[in-house]
Amino acid sequence: MALFSALISIDLMDKGKSAVEVSFLVSAAAVISMVFQPVAGMLQDRGNRKVVTAVLLLVSAVTGVLFSLQNQYGVLVMFYGAAMALMNSANPYIEMTATKSPYSYRSNRIWGSIGYALGAQVCGIIYEAVSPESNYLSTLFKREMGLPISEYILSKKIESAENILKFTDIPYAEIASILAFSSRSHFIRTFKKYMGLTPREYRGRNSYRMELMKLA
C-alpha cells in the first residue's frame, strides 16, 4: 500500500497527466472504493475472512501492476479505483487482527506508521532508479556516449584523481572523500583497476616534481 499510495501522483505526472486529472482520478477511486465496500463485506461475512482478505490483497497487487502499465486515462481510473477498493476492503480484517494481537493497539499503530513511512521512502528510491524516464535517459546516454552514465562518471573521477595526484600532495584518504569514493581502499582499488598503477605508483611517476626534474 505504501508503494501504491506514495508513487501514484509521481507516476501519473511522469505519464503526462495534469494535476486536475490526477486529483479527479484519486476522487473517482474513492467513490469506486466506497461502492465496493458492501460487496467486500458480504464476501468476508460469508467466507473465511482470512482467505478472502488474502485474495483481496493479492488481486489488488496484480491490479496495481496492471495500472502501472497503462496510459489511457479511462483505463487508469478503472484500474486505480479497483486497486484502492480492494486494498481498502482488506482493512477491516487487518484492523481486527491488530486489536486481537498480543501487542498493544498503540504499538501496532506506531510500528505500522513507521513501516508505512519507510516503505514510502524505499519505494521512492526504487522508482527513481527504475522509472521509465531514468531508463530512457540511461539508454540515450549510452547510445550517444558509448558507455553507461555510471561508467562515464567514474572515468571523470579517475581523470580528476590523476590531476590531484600529479599536482598536489593531498593524502589518498582525502582524495577519496573529495571524489566521493566510499573509502580510501575503494579509491585505491578502483584507480589501479583503471590505470594499472596504484595512486602511490602513479604519483611517484607523474608528479609535478618528477616533471620538473625531467625538464632540468
Domain identity same for 114 and 143: no
Which of 70, 101, 130 corresponds to the end of one domain?
130
Return the CATH number at 159. 1.10.10.60
Number of Cβ atoms within 10 Å of the Cβ of 187: 24
Q: State the Cα–Cα distance between residues 99 and 89, nearest whole angstrom.
A: 17
Domain identity same for 125 and 159: no
Q: At what angle do helices 149-167 and 199-206 cross, to 10 degrees?
A: 50
Q: State the Cα–Cα distance between residues 208 and 187, nearest whole angstrom.
A: 21
Highest mean pLDDT, choosing among 9-13, 112-116, 202-206: 202-206
DSSP letter, residue 198 = -
Highest mean pLDDT, choosing among 11-25, 60-74, 189-203: 189-203
Please give the distance of CA 100 from its chain centroid, rounded to a whole number. 34
Number of domains in the chain: 2
Domain identity same for 209 and 170: yes
Give the number of C-alpha atoms closer than 13 A to the C-alpha of residue 69, restricted to the C-beta side.
6
Please give the distance of CA 47 from its chain centroid, rounded to a whole number. 37
Helices (H), 69-148: 73-100, 105-130, 132-145
Residue 137: per-residue pLDDT: 61
Which of 82, 104, 130 corresponds to the end of one domain?
130
Which of 130, 153, 168 corresponds to the end of one domain?
130
Q: What is the mean pLDDT of the chain?
A: 76
Residue 188: per-residue pLDDT: 94
Domain identity same for 61 and 161: no
More confident residue, 8 or 169: 169
Residues spanned by the domain of 42: 2-130
pLDDT higher than threshold 90 for residue 2: no
**30-44, 105-119, 186-200: which has the minimum mean pLDDT?**
105-119
Domain identity same for 17 and 120: yes
More confident residue, 155 or 118: 155
pLDDT higher than threshold 70 for residue 169: yes
Residue 18: per-residue pLDDT: 72
Domain identity same for 116 and 163: no
Residue 115: per-residue pLDDT: 65
Residue 198: per-residue pLDDT: 94
Domain identity same for 126 and 61: yes
pTM for the model stands at: 0.47
Residue 172: per-residue pLDDT: 93
Q: What is the mean pLDDT of residues 171-183?
A: 89
Domain identity same for 101 and 205: no
**Cβ burial 26-35 (10 Å sphere, 16+ → b, else e):** bebbeebbee
Residue 132: per-residue pLDDT: 55
